[in-house]
Structure 1
Amino acid sequence: MRVGLLETHAARLPGYWSAFLKELGSEPVLPALDDAEALALGRESLPNEPLSVQLTLGRILSMGRLDAVLLPQWPAVSGDAWSEALPDLLARRISGLPTLISVPDGPDGLEGAATELGLRVSQNAGRVRLALEKVRPMAQDPRASQPALTRASRVTVAVIGPRALLSEPLVQGPLRAALDDLGLHAVFSHELPVADVLKRAERLEQPRATPGDRELFGAVSMLGGKGAVKGFLFVSGARDGSTATALGRLAERQHKPTLLLSADGQTDFPELAAFRDRVTLGGAARSATAGPTEAEPTGESGA
């Protein structure tokens, strides 16, 4: 089988599915277009759908003829049909796509899904067992260092959004550059260790909360009590109403300046200047120019 792989830049298990396919003797096919080209291609077919969906479709189409494509599952927020059933919805909307297979992006249910996939690819149970043994060390969240919470002569702001969105260079690169140009030090939520975020999300008193809701809440909870963080920038993909709604609810609960931003692959963010002015009012602006400070960790201490 020719199998394509769409592993996000923020995959919890980076390299797992690629390594597993190689152990089965199937070299995974990767997207053949850069991010901007993939986005343009996806928009031709789905002009009114969210940015992440357009990118995914463009990358699938760029791979050429395949038997199947693996789509690591996105943590869906409440009401987000695309994240909950991406393969089914894409197959309904676009004819002629290869078989789309949703696979776990975390340890839960991973080995069972890998076993099922392995039998489809190789039809050799013995080879599947050997492949699983080889990749088992890659089946746990990797240890990740905490991002620095402060930077000399800069005011810190937290950037909160879905991991799959903020990790995209097409989104993160221009946004980080724009914040840096305004004298702001950005701490992006997708850079926080996922295990720590999920642990903090245990405080969420909503039993029906989805995995995406929990990740967003956990990231805000981790960063919200830090004195160095002077404001929150909540980022959703363009035309992603479910995520924008979830982030809006979080923004309403904050006591620091907030801004809701829609990312559509743009490089200009004129609304950030007013946000910077609100963030740097009062003592925040003075402390930012006080000279180098020692980086504050984002763990439990200091929350």
Structure 2
Amino acid sequence: MKVGLLHSDAARLGAYWKAYLKELGVDLVTPTLPDAEALQVGRDSLPGESVNVQLALGRILGLGRVDAVLVPRWSAVNGDAWSEALTELLPRRISGLPLLIPVPDGPPDLENAAAEVGLRLSQNGGRVRLALERARLLASPREEMPMLSRAGRATVAVIGPRALLAEPHLSAPLRAELDRLGLHAVYSPDLPHGDVMKRAERMEQPAPTAGERELFGAASLLSGKGGVRGLLFVTSARDGATHAALDRLAARQHKPTLVLELDADQTDFTALEAFRDRVTLGEGGAGEGA
């Protein structure tokens, strides 16, 4: 059986699933298209969707002929059908896709899900048990707090979905612009996940989704740091649900904020200059969405 693993720098447990599939002995296939080409393929197929959806689709199509593809789940935001059911929606929109199997990108159901996937792919219980044992060390990747200061630069928190900010091809223009503006940016996907989720316990919202907990936890963790001068909330263009969630978070802050939409190959970051000025000059409070 030929099985594809959807490569994603945003996946926390990509190394775990790669090692696990190799231990199962399946014929593992990884994408061959560069991210720029994969994104273009996705844009051509789903022109009205957000860039993270387009990139995921392009990577799946870039796998070629496979029997199944393991797709790490995104942390869902309330009202965002793509983050809630990516593997169900894509086959409805694009015909001829292989079987898409969603897999967890963290605890608590990781090992049970991996066992089910292993039996489905190999139909060999003994091999599954051995593969689980050998891959287990990769189930808890080491995470450290990023540096919160840089000499001569004001620190800003950058809060947004992992599927956007942790993808180098999608976030590179924003990162370059923040660096050009002389800001030291601390990105929410780089924070230790356990610390973020502890902060998320403070949420007053009833039954928040996993994505909303992550966004709240990261904002709470970084906004409480004295050296963080402002908070930049970033969402993909055409992702209204995440934009709404970030608007609510921004309204709660007591430091300068900006809600920014990020699109593929974006070059206009005019709003960031005004945000930089408010951060460095200490002007204003909550900012306007962009």
Instruction: Report TM bin, short chain.
Output: over 0.9
**Equivalent position of 1:37 in the other structure:** 37
SS at match of 2:92: helix
Kindly indicate whether residue 144 of structure 2 is the aligned counterpart of residue 131 of structure 1.
no
Report deviation, 1:8. 2.4
**1:154 matched residue in structure 2:** 153
Report SS of the residue matched to 1:157.
strand
Secondary structure of the 1:236 match is strand
8 Å CA contact retained: 1:33, 1:59: yes
Aligned-residue Cα RMSD (Å) equals 1.3
266-275 or 204-213, which deviates more: 266-275
CA offset at residue 128 of structure 1? Answer: 1.0
SS at match of 2:184: strand
Q: Which residues of structure 1 form unaligned runs of 5+? A: 284-303
| 1:270 CA drift (Å) | 2.2
- Output one character per residue of 1:221-269: Cα deviation in whole Å (capped at 9) or x when no partner: 0011112111111100111111111001001111111111111122422
Alignment-derived partner of residue 49 in structure 2 = 49
Return the letter of the residue paired with 2:46.
Answer: L
Instruction: Tell whether the 8 Å contact from 1:73 to 1:105 is kept in structure 2 after alignment.
Output: yes
Q: 1:206: which partner in 2?
A: 205
Aligned to 1:28: 28
Q: Spell out, residue by residue over 1:51-71, the C-alpha distance to the aligned partner (whole angstroms, 9 max, x if none).
A: 111000000011100100011
SS state at 2:201 partner: helix
Identity %: 66
Is 1:258 matched with 2:272? no
Amino acid at match of 1:196: D
- Give distance in 1, aligned partners of 2:99 and 2:76: 21
2:13 is equivalent to residue 16 of structure 1 = no
1:121 Cα offset (Å): 1.4
- Counterpart CA distance in 2 for 1:263 and 1:282 is 25
1:177 corresponds to? 176
Report the secondary structure of 1:271's partner residue.
helix
Q: Provide the residue aligned with 2:191 in structure 1.
A: 192
- Contact persistence 2:7–2:59 (CA under 8 A): no
Answer 1 or 2: higher relative contact order, Cα 8 Å, separation at least 6: 1
Q: Is the 8 A contact 1:199 1:218 kept in 2?
A: yes
Amino acid at match of 1:194: H
Q: CA deviation at 1:277?
A: 1.1
**Residue 34 (structure 1) shift:** 1.3
Tell me the SS of whatever aligns to 2:116.
Answer: helix
Matched, 1:118 2:121: no
Structure 2 unmatched runs, 5+: 284-290
Residue deviations 1:95-149 (CA, integer Å, cap 9, x gap): 0000000001002111121111111211111111111111122222x22111111
Letter in 2 for 1:180: D
Q: Give the deviation of 1:172 after TM superposition.
A: 2.5
Tell whether the 8 Å contact from 1:12 to 1:194 is kept in structure 2 after alignment: no
Using structure 1 for the length normalisation, give the TM-score. Answer: 0.90
Determine helix, strand or coil for the equivalent of 1:150: coil
Distance of 2:106 and 2:207 partners within structure 1: 20
Does the residue aligned with 1:85 lie in a helix, a strand or coil?
A: helix
Q: Is the CA contact (8 Å cut-off) linking 1:72 and 1:104 kept in structure 2?
A: yes
- Which residue number corresponds to residue 296 of structure 1? none
Counterparts of 2:6 and 2:14, CA distance in 1:
11
* Aligned partner of residue 96 in structure 1, secondary structure: coil
Which whole-Å deviations, capped at 9, do the CAs of 1:131-185 have from their partners, x for residues lacking one?
Answer: 1111122222x22111111111101111000112100102332211111111111
1:203 alignment partner, SS class: coil
Amino acid at match of 1:5: L
Runs of 4+ in 1 over 4 A off after TM superposition: none
Q: Distance in 2 between matches of 1:126 and 1:282?
A: 62
Give, in angstroms, the shift of residue 33 of structure 1. Answer: 1.1
CA-to-aligned-CA distance 1:259-292 (integer Å, 9 cap, x gap): 1111112242222111111111149xxxxxxxxx
CA distance in 1, matches of 2:51, 2:193: 23
